[in-house]
Amino acid sequence: MARSAILNVMVQAAMKAGRSLARDFGEVQNLQVSLKGPGDYVSQADRKAEEIIYTELSRARPGYSFLMEERGAVEGEDDQHRWIVDPLDGTTNFLHGLPIFSISIALERQGQLVAGVIYNPAMDELYTAERGGGAFLNDRRLRVAARSKLSDAVIGTGIPHLGRGHHGNYLVELRNVMGETAGVRRLGSAALDLAYVAAGRMDGFWEEPLSPWDVAAGILMIREAGGFVSDKQGGNNMLENGTIVAGNELIHRALLKTLKKPVTSR
Sites of contact with ligand 2AM (CB under 6 A): 39-40, 69, 86, 88-92, 158, 161, 164, 188-190, 207, 214
Q: Cβ of residue 133: shortest distance to ligand 2AM, in angstroms? A: 25
- Residue 103 vs 202, nearer CB to Ca ion: 103
Question: How many of the other CB atoms lie within 10 Å of CB of 59?
Answer: 10
Q: Cβ of residue 102: shortest distance to Ca ion, in angstroms? A: 9
Give the closest residue to 225 by CA, choosing from 195, 202, 255, 256. Answer: 195
Q: Cβ of residue 192: shortest distance to ligand 2AM, in angstroms? A: 8
Q: Which partner from the list ligand 2AM, Ca ion, none does 189 bind, CB cut-off 5 to 8 Å by kind? A: ligand 2AM
- Beta-carbon contacts of 253 under 8 Å, excluding residues fewer than 6 positions away, are 228
Percentage helix, strand, coil for the chain under 3-state DSSP, each rounded to 5: 40, 30, 35
Q: Cβ of residue 165: shortest distance to ligand 2AM, in angstroms? A: 9
CB 203 within 8 A of CB 145: yes
- Residue 69 vs 130, nearer CB to Ca ion: 69
Q: Which partner from the list Ca ion, ligand 2AM, none does 63 bind, CB cut-off 5 to 8 Å by kind? A: none
Give residue number: closest CB to ligand 2AM.
158
Q: Where are the alpha helices (DSSP H) in the chain?
A: 5-25, 44-60, 91-95, 167-180, 190-198, 212-224, 238-241, 249-260
Q: Which partner from the list ligand 2AM, Ca ion, none does 39 bind, CB cut-off 5 to 8 Å by kind? A: ligand 2AM
CB 14 within 8 A of CB 85: no
249: helix, coil or strand? helix
Tell me: is residue 88 an annotated ligand-binding position. yes
Q: Cβ of residue 149: shortest distance to ligand 2AM, in angstroms? A: 26
Burial of 77 (0-12, 13-18, 19+ CB in 10 A): exposed
String of DSSP letters for 190-225: HHHHHHHHHTTSSSEEEESS--HHHHHHHHHHHHHT
Q: Cβ of residue 163: shortest distance to ligand 2AM, in angstroms? A: 7
Tell me: is residue 77 an annotated ligand-binding position. no
Q: Where are the alpha helices (DSSP H) in 110-187?
A: 167-180
Residue list 202-221, contact with Ca ion (CB under 5 A) = 214
- Residue 24 vs 147, nearer CB to ligand 2AM: 24
- Residue 158 vs 200, nearer CB to Ca ion: 158
Distances from the Cα of 185 to the Cα of 84, 157, 208, angstroms: 26, 6, 15
Residue list 51-70, contact with Ca ion (CB under 5 A) = 69
Q: Which partner from the list Ca ion, ligand 2AM, none does 130 bind, CB cut-off 5 to 8 Å by kind? A: none
Residue type, 118: I
Q: Which partner from the list ligand 2AM, Ca ion, none does 50 bind, CB cut-off 5 to 8 Å by kind? A: none
Interface positions with Ca ion (CB under 5 A): 69, 86, 88-89, 91, 214
- Binding-site residues from annotation for Mg(2+): 69, 86, 88-89, 214
Write out the binding residues.
Answer: 69, 86, 88-89, 214
